[in-house]
Structure 1
Amino acid sequence: MKKKWIILFSTFLCLGCLAKKKISEQPKTTAADFQLVWQDDFNGSVIDTIKWSRITEGAPDWKNYMTTDDQVYEVADGYLYLKGLVNTDTQTDPRPYLTGGVWTRDKFNFTYGKVEVRAKMESAKGSWPAIWLLGRKNDDSWPANGEIDIMEHLNFDNFIHSTIHSSIKSSPSTKTVNVNPGEFNTYGVEWYPNKIVFTINEAPTFTYHKEAGADWRQWPFDRDFHLILSQQLGGAWVGNVDSSQLPVDFVIDYVKYYEYNPSRTTALGSN
């Protein structure tokens, strides 16, 4: 009888080991969904014009003070610096401030995938750095073309905003997350055909879902988007600028884009 119990116990242990092994061999919901295909580590001394274009002045608040002038751009020591500063030559350009921003529009556009940007920012009244994705407009105007705000920081806030813009305000469509903006953090987004997951330092912070039966008004996210890195000053949302607190630097360590591989999708991308 004792021998019989030993055999049964040994069999139970073996089955347990096999079960544990089987569980450990299940597909993981991590990098299997994505493949790194595009990145910039800013290890040179100039902006890579194959990847980026400098943003020019425009009508929206975030473009009010954008310029291609070299004084608001710097690549040094492995970092990209986008600056916001007082304009000291208002004879040439009457605007009181100048800011830097770059985007991948018409150079690198993508649908779905994962974006990671490691960055830090200086705070000032009226400062508004952002990391975001904007949909190609075609025949649609904003916000019908869609916008994915990975990170926006205002003034001296100790938190950032992550927001979705579309023609319909679904709930929830925005989230604030506490951070130390003066320290490097990795701001990210994982963009699937049915949801958008925001992350900070690889930890999920907010998920926006495609609603059942949704059309383009709630989900304009099945088209190409481009990436924008911008350091803006002033505007209706952020408020007035205190010029005595300038200049400010938005410092980017690296940018990475991982292509979404639906053929390798696991439970993470289908829930």
Structure 2
Amino acid sequence: MSKYIVIIVAIILVGCKSSSSTISKKDWKLIWEDNFDKEEIDTAKWTKIPKNNADWGNYMTSDSECYEISDGKLYLKGIVNTDTIADSRPFLTGGIYTKGKFAFQYGKVEIHAKLESAQGAWPAIWMLAEEKKYGNYPKNGEIDIMEHLNYDDIIYQTTHSYYTLELKQKTNPPYSSTAKFNKEVFNIFGLEWFPDKLVFTLNGEETFTYPRLKDVDPSQWPYDQPFYLLIDQQLEGAWVGKADPEDLPVQMIIDWVKVYQ
């Protein structure tokens, strides 16, 4: 084999390696971040999540009582509504998303945050598809980087799709897992997203992997399109149960968000 062929083969192998899911941590390059070092939420990056009809969105609001930035941290709050004349809902919750402002496909996202506990509290860090490539929900999938319930000392890390929800394929492969964490301190909740797998992390350590499978219904892998970020301090829902007003207010405190590719 001539030295020129050797060089060409080497180049091809390097190229294949860099595009696979074997990217090393040193290869990640920061492409987007927010350190919440401004006096207000950066509206070029985030929008306050409006009320919606989903189980998690019943109390979402843009009310300033549910948002605070202090000492370089964002506080998203779940509170008892003190003005039910202006808004009849018993509770209000704060949340932000990058919908229409920032979405990415493949890479690593990490969120440094602290979770407070309360009965009925359901803080979440998650991702949804920017477009409807495959149709309406749940056909485009959902990636739940972190969900926490009540006073638990575990977090849930989950994928949802037409494959898991409608076809009920929750064990081939397993679609969800839990990880024990110290809720008294800030933790780094993360995801490493490749063309062939989703790797969930906690404080930089792998906790759960959802692989792309061959020879199954194609709805198993809708994760081949840009997704945007959602971070919200939810209250109540069929999964978490009723909120206890005596436990409120409750907060999710966000120190920073970083996205790498």
Whether TM exceeds 0.5 here: the answer is yes
Percent identical residues: 51
Whether 2:160 is the aligned partner of 1:158: answer no
Aligned equivalents of 1:117, 1:215: Cα separation in 2: 32
CA distance in 2, matches of 1:79, 1:185: 14
The 8 Å contact of residues 212 and 221 in structure 2, kept in 1 or not, is answered as yes
Deviations 1:19-51 (A, max 9, x none): xxxxxxxx9852344211100011111100000
- Say which of 34, 54, 63 aligns to 2:57: 63
- Structure 2 segments unaligned to the other structure (5+ residues): 1-17, 165-171
- Could you tell me which of 64, 76, 90 is aligned with 2:84? 90
Give the counterpart letter for 1:187 in structure 2: F
**C-alpha offsets along residues 194-252 of structure 1, whole Å, 9 cap, x if unaligned?**
00000111100000000014554100000111000010100101001101000001000
1:1-271 alignment, distance < 5 Å? 29-138=23-132, 140-169=135-164, 170-214=172-216, 216-259=218-261
The letter of the residue matching 2:135 is D
Q: 1:214 to 1:32 in 2, by over 3 A?
A: farther
CA contact (8 A) 1:136 1:145 kept: no
Aligned length: 234
Shift of 1:54: 0.3
SS at match of 1:62: coil
Structure 1, 229-238 or 33-42: larger mean CA deviation: 33-42
Q: Deviations over 1:109-167 (max 9, x none)?
A: 11111000000111000000000011134262221111110000000000000001111
CA distance in structure 2 between the partners assigned to 1:33 and 1:63 by the alignment:
37
Q: Which residue number corresponds to residue 15 of structure 2?
A: none
Q: What secondary structure does 2:259 align onto?
A: strand
Structure 1 runs of 4+ aligned residues shifted over 3 Å read 213-216
Deviating more after overlay: 133-142 vs 157-166: 133-142
Instruction: Tell me the alpha carbon deviations over residues 56-106 of structure 1, each in whole angstroms, 9 at most, x when there is no partner.
Output: 000001110000111100111010100000000000000000000000000
Contact 1:86 1:98 in 2 (8 A): yes
Aligned counterparts of 1:140 and 1:127: Cα–Cα separation in 2: 31
Higher alpha-carbon Rg = 1
> For 1:124, what is the secondary structure of its paired residue?
coil
Conserved in 2, the CA contact under 8 Å of 1:61 and 1:236?
yes
Once the two structures are overlaid, the 10-residue window that deviates more, 51-60 or 173-182, is 173-182
- C-alpha contact 2:100 2:130 (8 A) present in aligned 1: no
Unaligned runs of 5+ in 1: 1-26, 260-271
Q: Deviations over 1:5-27 (max 9, x none)?
A: xxxxxxxxxxxxxxxxxxxxxx9
